[in-house]
Amino acid sequence: IEGNPGQDATYWRSTAFIDELRRIAPEIQILDRQTARWDRARATAVAENFLTTYADLNAIMAQDDNMAMGALQAIKAAGKSGVVRLISINASKEGLEAIRDGEIYGSCTQSPTFEGIYTARVIRDVANGWPPVPRWIRNPVLRVDRRNAHQVFGEW
């Protein structure tokens, strides 16, 4: 379940996920990709569509926790809890709680604090005429699942 079409976050999350999945588990088949535009209600509808279209579906990846929570509603309503694994991105407070409760299989962190700090540094550098910043600053991420969710602090 993807964010806004054409948006950097949507593009890079999809590209990285698909590339890594092909590298580590080429036998896993991606059945569909649909946008929910970062919206929980739309994500619920997309997940309902996936669950009725693909009878053997066993996992859904949502590009953020808000959409994952929408997908979780659809999974529960379909009686597929524990059958369809849900993964996400963000490790928000709500997402971490769902991981600890066993409702979301896993996520990865995305720190708004890190992004804010580095954005401020880029602005400072540009304002001072300092050398151009790298085109891409990689946000450090941590894999989160039930084993370590209690150690991760959700920032939002």
Structure tokens at 29: 């088949």
Query: Rounded to an integer, what distance in angstroms lies between the CA atom of residue 113 and that of residue 3?
Result: 21
8 Å CB contact between 75 and 60: yes
Residue 130 confidence (pLDDT) above 90: yes
Residue 44 confidence (pLDDT) above 80: yes
CA-nearest of 91, 76, 65, 68 to 146 is 91
Query: Rounded to an integer, what distance in angstroms lies between the CA atom of residue 132 and that of residue 125?
Result: 8
**Number of residues in the chain:** 156
Return the number of other C-beta atoms located less than 10 Å from residue 34's C-beta: 13
Q: Sign of the C-alpha dihedral, residues 69, 75, 79, 84?
A: negative
3-state secondary structure of 12: helix
In this predicted model, what pLDDT tens digit does every residue of 134-155 receive, in sequence order?
777 777 888 999 999 999 887 7
In this predicted model, what pLDDT tens digit does every residue of 46-85 receive, in sequence order?
999 999 999 999 999 999 999 999 999 999 999 999 999 9
Q: Sign of the C-alpha dihedral, residues 94, 100, 101, 107?
A: positive
User: What number of CA atoms fall less than 13 Å from residue 77's CA on the CB side?
Assistant: 13
